[in-house]
């Protein structure tokens, strides 16, 4: 793992990553401040003083800027195999997310514009941090990088597979929420988040930079909090729900 010099820039990155993650996680503990997308849409009575956009446009706004950035990073990395591997992973991640927005996900609500912009800016910042910091790693462990590549494929597949299960819950055209089942949904409420966290770990193994580990820990913490809230959301919405962990089978 590469440890950089603790200059002003690196300290600033650490501060922004930690402070931003803590702020996002803290917001999730209150329904009034929780980021308003996916299942956690505001009721119509809450929409009078806010600007809302369709969930489809909201999800595109969240992922498209990072896809554009990762495309540029991929182009700039063609003369460096290590950076090409890192940039390709970031590019594949956001390309997959945008394609899922367009052809996989099915929508039933709206998203708060300011929350959507905040999430989009966070993803864009983290993507830029990962690329910039990876450039400074002088030498990497090839075995760790290979393990990271394998874990990345596993994480992205896990995320995609369970998004397909969620999509099929509405294959009849219904906009009502249903309790998902099949795959890891039989064990946890958010296996798609679990897959994303596996991808985060994979990026750390490929980049091998301690600051990227800090950034990804914050992202994982946010998704873990979101998974906890998702379980509670299902519990509040349905009279009875299956006994499942939030994110990690039999653990959490």
Regions in the chain scoring below 70 on pLDDT? 36-48
User: Do 148 and 62 share a structural domain?
Assistant: no
- Say what the pLDDT of residue 177 is: 84
Q: Is residue 158 part of a domain?
A: yes
**Separation CA 198–CA 163 (nearest Å):** 15
- Say what the pLDDT of residue 45 is: 44
- Say what the pLDDT of residue 44 is: 43
User: Range of 166's domain?
Assistant: 138-251
- Say what the pLDDT of residue 94 is: 97
Tens of pLDDT, residues 173-210: 777 888 999 999 999 999 999 999 999 999 999 999 99
User: Do 73 and 116 share a structural domain?
Assistant: yes
Of 247, 208, 215, nearest in space to 22 by CA: 215
Domain boundary residue, one of 136, 152, 171 = 136
**Which pTM was predicted?**
0.89
> For the chain, how long is the longest CA-to-CA vector?
57
Domain boundary residue, one of 95, 115, 136 = 136
**Separation CA 35–CA 21 (nearest Å):** 13
């Amino acid at each position: 793992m590469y440890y950089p010099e603790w200059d002003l820039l690196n300290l600033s990155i650490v501060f922004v990553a930690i402070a931003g993650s803590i702020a996002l996680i803290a917001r999730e503990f209150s329904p009034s401040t929780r980021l308003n997308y996916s299942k956690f849409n505001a009721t119509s009575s809450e929409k009078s003083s806010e600007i809302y956009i369709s969930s489809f446009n909201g999800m595109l706004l969240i992922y498209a800027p990072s896809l554009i950035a990762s495309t540029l990073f991929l182009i700039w990395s063609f003369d460096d195999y290590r950076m090409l591997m890192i940039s390709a992973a970031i590019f594949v991640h956001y390309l997959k997310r945008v394609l899922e927005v367009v052809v996989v996900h099915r929508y039933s609500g709206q998203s708060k514009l300011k929350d959507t912009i905040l999430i989009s800016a966070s993803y864009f910042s983290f993507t830029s941090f990962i690329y910039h910091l990876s450039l400074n790693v002088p030498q990497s462990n090839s075995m760790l990088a290979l393990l990271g590549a394998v874990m990345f494929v596993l994480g992205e597949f896990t995320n995609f597979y369970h998004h397909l299960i969620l999509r099929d819950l509405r294959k009849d055209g219904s906009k009502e929420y249903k309790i998902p089942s099949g795959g890891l949904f039989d064990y946890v409420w958010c296996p798609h988040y679990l897959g994303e966290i596996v991808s985060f770990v994979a990026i750390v193994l490929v980049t091998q930079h301690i600051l990227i580990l800090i950034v990804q820990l914050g992202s994982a913490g946010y998704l873990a909090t979101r998974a906890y809230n998702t379980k509670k959301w299902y519990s509040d919405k349905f009279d009875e729900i299956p006994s499942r962990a939030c994110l990690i089978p039999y653990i959490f």
